A = this chain, B = another copy of it.
Amino acid sequence: MAGNTFGTLFKVTTFGESHGGTVGCVIDGCPAGITLNEEMIQIDLDRRRPGQSDITTPRKEEDIVHIESGVFEGKTTGTPLCLVVQNKDAHSSDYDHLKNIFRPSHADYTYQKKYGIRDTRGGGRASARETVARVAAGSVARIYLNTITGIEIVAFVERVQNIVGNIDIHTVSIKDVDKTPVRCPDGVAAEQMISLIKKTGEEGDSLGGVIRCILRNVPVGLGEPVFDRLSAKLGQAMLSIPATKGFEIGSGFSGTYLTGRTHNDEFYTDKNGNIRTHTNNSGGVQGGISNGEIIDFRVAFKPTSTIRKEQKTVTTDGKETLLNAHGRHDPCVLPRAVPIVEAMAALTIMDYYLLQKIYG
């Protein structure tokens, strides 16, 4: 109810604030007998970690994961997994000057009004640090999917402001994506993105853009009509990530300019006898259920709210003031958001995959 749980069969509950002792999650419903250790999860966390390149925040957070429960002799036991990451490089004093100010386009004001209290250190629960727990949980889901299925999940930065990468979604791999620090697998566009991010960061301003995510080899039949359509739950999953403002699947908003004749995905039977579609405007989901084509969606991320330019705002008692923020922030969150998008995709698919074991 209070919103910190995702999933129904593979049920992830996250906890922890930016500057509290730990951030972490409990996963209830992970099947037993899966090989799992901390090194396996650490791979994904290292992709999300701050300080990994010169276009991300210089904050040094090692983000070492520890499995507290649910694993015995290297295998999951079917009981709850608790994964925790200690908060280490937490400069709480960086936030003292923000204690009585509502930062524009942050959650300071809404948390204060909703709860009557807020943890003022580094955004508290509203900090993107909370996504550490999502990446850890998503990693477990991915390990399961890798072990049991052939499903592949690859996200990448497709656009930063107006610089667009051109990527082949049939072949793109995580290795391709991780070749550049901006996580755009189109090398030319990546260079331009990196330059733009550096320049904008130096100016104290910030950038947004679009992450595209590709799921290959998803079996036909995942998704639960009518309210829990696969597309709808992917939408919720993505729009629950901090800084997101939009989601589209397949043809998305641009498909609204077509007519039915050009938009419809005509069926054919391939040489293996599988029913396929010539086009994929549906983005791999029809009637809320996966159809075996590539699942293909995009997520819009706004420009980072924390900037070093002077802004007008108000104090917690409503007096108008000027904010000159400092602190250590990403001028563009997209590169580090790529593993978060993948994690939320993995959690969403995992739940439907397990559910389909009943009915499939």
Contacts and interface: CB of A to CB of B under 8 A. Distances in A.
B311 A359 contact: no
Nearest to A16: B69
A178 to B, nearest CB: 22
A33 B75 CA distance: 36
Contacts of A159: 256
A163 to B, nearest CB: 11
A304 B261 CA distance: 9
A238 B306 CA distance: 30
A224 interface: yes
A191 interface: no
Interface in A14-59: 14-17, 20-24, 26, 28-29, 31-33
Contact of A17 (B1, B69, B111, B130): B69
Contact of A9 (B1, B5, B221, B311): B1
Interface residues of A, number: 150
Given A245-B250, A282-B105, A303-B260, A68 B312 contact: no
A139 interface: no
B114 A286 contact: no
Given A117-B75, A261-B307, A111 B289 contact: yes
A281 B305 CA distance: 12
A268 B237 CA distance: 32
A217 interface: no
A319 interface: yes
Interface string A152-195: 00000001011000000000000000000000000000000000
B4 A257 contact: no
A300 interface: yes
B281 A105 contact: yes
B3 A227 contact: yes
Contact of A266 (B29, B116, B289, B312): B312
15 contacts: A2-B9, A5-B13, A15-B80, A16-B69, A21-B69, A33-B115, A72-B118, A78-B359, A125-B225, A231-B245, A245-B250, A260-B304, A264-B311, A268-B312, A273-B318
10 A-B pairs with the lowest CB-CB distances in the bound complex, closest first = A107-B287, A3-B224, A246-B248, A3-B228, A206-B260, A110-B289, A236-B236, A32-B115, A78-B115, A15-B80
